[in-house]
């Protein structure tokens, strides 16, 4: 039974990696787990119970520290910045009255930089906990 389950899991991972899909990634932050996941090769996102304003302020602060903010549109919910040579776009999207989605996209030229997107996302979530 255990061997069959292991074979199924390994087959799934192999098929998704060959198909170009990005496997689910979870980021554990602090005492509680705040889920974040890769939605494409250049985008990392997660949903938080923090308000849109709190997430916006934290994202703006973190991106200012990590790189250079080029453009920000609070009403539209987007911040464009350069971090480690990559163009990073942070989007703060209201999902409901009590939930807000944070989406980080990072590209260096035409190449996706999921590690940078995940790093920025994680640091913003850490900032929200302080």
The pTM for the full model equals: 0.72
Cβ atoms of 99 and 48 closer than 8 Å = yes
- Reported as a single tens digit per residue, the pLDDT across 24-81 is 444 433 333 356 778 889 999 999 999 999 999 999 999 999 999 999 999 999 999 9
Length of the chain: 130
pLDDT score for 79: 96
Chain mean pLDDT for the chain: 80
Domain locations in the chain? 21-129
21-129 is classed CATH 3.40.50.880: no
pLDDT score for 38: 80
Q: What CA–CA distance (Å, rounded) separates 35 from 22?
A: 15
CA proximity to 127, closest of 77, 67, 65:
65
Q: What CA–CA distance (Å, rounded) separates 111 from 130?
A: 33
- C-alpha dihedral, 89 to 115 to 32 to 22, nearest 10°: 90
């Amino acid at each position: 039974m255990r061997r069959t389950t292991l074979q199924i899991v390994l087959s799934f991972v192999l098929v998704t990696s060959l198909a170009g899909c990005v496997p689910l990634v979870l980021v554990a932050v602090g005492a509680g787990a705040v889920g974040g996941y890769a939605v494409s090769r250049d985008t990392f996102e997660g949903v938080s119970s923090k308000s849109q304003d709190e997430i916006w302020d934290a994202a703006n602060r973190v991106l200012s520290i990590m790189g250079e903010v080029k453009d920000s549109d609070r009403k539209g919910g987007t911040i464009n910045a350069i971090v480690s040579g990559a163009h990073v776009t942070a989007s703060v999207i209201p999902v409901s009255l009590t939930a807000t989605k944070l989406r980080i996209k990072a590209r260096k030229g035409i190449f996706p930089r999921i590690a940078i997107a995940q790093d920025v996302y994680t640091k913003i979530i850490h900032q929200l906990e302080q």
